[in-house]
Amino acid sequence: MGIPSRHRLLQFSLLMTALAAAEFTLPDPCLGQDATIDPGDRIRVKPLIQPKGRVTGSFIEVAKDTLIFDTRGDVRRLAISDIKTLQVSVGQGSHLQGTIFGGVVGAVGGALVGAAVAGEDDELGNGFIGFWIGGAIGAALGWALLTPEKWVSVPIENFRFTVSPGVLRFRVGL
């Protein structure tokens, strides 16, 4: 007895959504050997010291070994040695990626839940309905909740920096 064509369609849909979701799990691109942060650029810093939460602000300058940045009118100073992660914003993305990611995750989850709650004779129908309902809800949530701003990590271990007028250059390496 062969697999019904609707069941194959559901399997194929689940496989395609899983492959599409894999695209979103790839790591963010890293900056090259010479990363440049200009005054006014949005940065995100996670310190090693208390409070350990991420702080987002605008880069001002580096004075000696201290990163100086502005967080909504509050100028903060953080020693380079106290920084766990440093990221720079590379601009706004589109809500399309959040919509696709949310739709993929919602569709897979909806299909699995729909198939799990279905009776033995209607597993495919409920899975198919769950796929579409979960996909629609996930797409809406992905559009609303996933931030379109893109951040790129600046490696801070083994970096040295030079300050020239208005530009901070990070060079990764010894």
| Angle, helices 123-145/95-117, rounded to nearest 10 degrees | 150
For the question of whether the overall pTM of this predicted structure is more than 0.85, the answer is: no
Beta carbons of 46 and 76 less than 8 angstroms apart = no
Q: Which CATH number fits domain 31-93+148-168: 2.30.30, 1.20.120, 3.40.720, 3.30.2010?
A: 2.30.30
Query: pLDDT at position 168, please?
Result: 53
CB environment 106-121: b (16+ within 10 A), e (fewer): bbbbbbebbbeebeee
* Domain residue ranges of the chain, discontinuous segments joined by +: 1-30+94-147, 31-93+148-168
Please give the pLDDT value at position 106. Answer: 92
pLDDT < 70: residue spans in the chain: 1-10, 13-14, 16-36, 119-121, 123, 147, 157-174
Give the pLDDT confidence score for residue 5 in this predicted structure.
59
Residue 58 is predicted with a pLDDT of 93
What is the per-residue DSSP string for 76-88? EEEEGGGEEEEEE
Structure tokens, 21: 């979701």
